[in-house]
Amino acid sequence: MGKLANRLVKGMKSVGRLPEIAQCLKKCGSPVSVILGYLQLAKPPRQVVYKTKYRLDLQDWADLTTAWVVFLGSEYRIFPSDRTIVDFGANIGAFAILAADENTQATIVCVEPFPANFDRLNATIAQNQLGDRVRTRACALAGSDRIVSFDSSTDIPSHSRKIADEGPPVDNVTRIQAYSLESFMRMEGLETIDFLKMDIEGAEYEALLGAGPDTLKKVKRIGLEYHRDGHESLTEHLQKSGFAITYHPKKGRSGVIEYTRQA
């Protein structure tokens, strides 16, 4: 009874997810198994089928939550004018699938630093035959070009991998090449970015606060997840470069926010 009660409590806490559950019923194959898995009322399925044509393989509940918030959470908006989309923190490829579905004319650049995630990202792109529209890059985004360290402990969920804080060394470290936004755009030959999606577990502050006006003026719209410290410093910096908040679907000290550069 204790285990059942715990599951029921978790289900009750998710009552605010009813609009997303409705979307799941419309957009996902085998929606009941997806819903029960997300609410932790059953084991998560091994795969999410999105709009009958895209498949995302899952290893655990953390993967399912990633798929859920991207496919059903309406956190990021894709427009017909978004012909160049860059996805920093691509993880296992859920947003790549969403972007490819929402805009069939877009070129998508997916950036994922952690090797195991990067392998799964490439598998997702191959499985869904998106290689002609999506290119992948194995590097990190930071405020400067340098080598950064990731904690590679096996108990960290795939979507929570981040640049390790400065401090005592940890036992399991993976070192990754990081680039500034300016350097990355130059390497990729990107004159402009129509939509910049960013979910990089706290490194958004360093990456954006370190990006100057000449770089930011090449970006039309930014959709990002901010962590821990709120969005005030990011908003102030981006407003100085001509951006305004145009969408804020998830608010709080951590949340999701969209900025659009004003004409």
Q: How much is the pLDDT for 12?
A: 45
pLDDT category of residue 156 using cuts at 50, 70 and 90: low
Q: How much is the pLDDT for 169?
A: 55
Residues of the chain with CATH 3.40.50.150: 76-261
CB 249 within 8 A of CB 74: yes
DSSP 131: T
For 27, the enclosing helix (H) or strand (E) is helix 18-27
Beta bridge partners of 243: 261
What mean pLDDT do residues 18-33 have?
A: 96
Q: How much is the pLDDT for 172?
A: 78
Helices (H) and strands (E) in the chain, counts: 10, 12
The position carrying tokens 């993976």 is: 174
Residue 168 has pLDDT above 90, yes or no: no
Query: Which percentage of the chain shows pLDDT scores above 70?
Result: 87
Q: How much is the pLDDT for 17?
A: 82
- Show the tokens assigned to 76: 């990021």
Q: Which fold has domain 76-261?
A: Rossmann fold (3.40.50)
DSSP 193: B
How confident is the model over 217-253, as pLDDT tens digits? 999 999 999 998 899 999 999 999 999 999 999 999 9
Separation of alpha carbons 241 and 234, rounded Å: 11
What mean pLDDT do residues 166-193 have?
A: 86
Separation of alpha carbons 189 and 170, rounded Å: 36
Separation of alpha carbons 257 and 229, rounded Å: 13
CB 253 within 8 A of CB 230: yes
Separation of alpha carbons 219 and 68, rounded Å: 27
Q: How much is the pLDDT for 255?
A: 95
pTM higher than 0.85: yes
Q: How much is the pLDDT for 8?
A: 47
Extended strands (E) in 144-251: 146-151, 173-179, 195-198, 221-226, 243-250
CB 209 within 8 A of CB 236: no
- Show the tokens assigned to 41: 């009322």
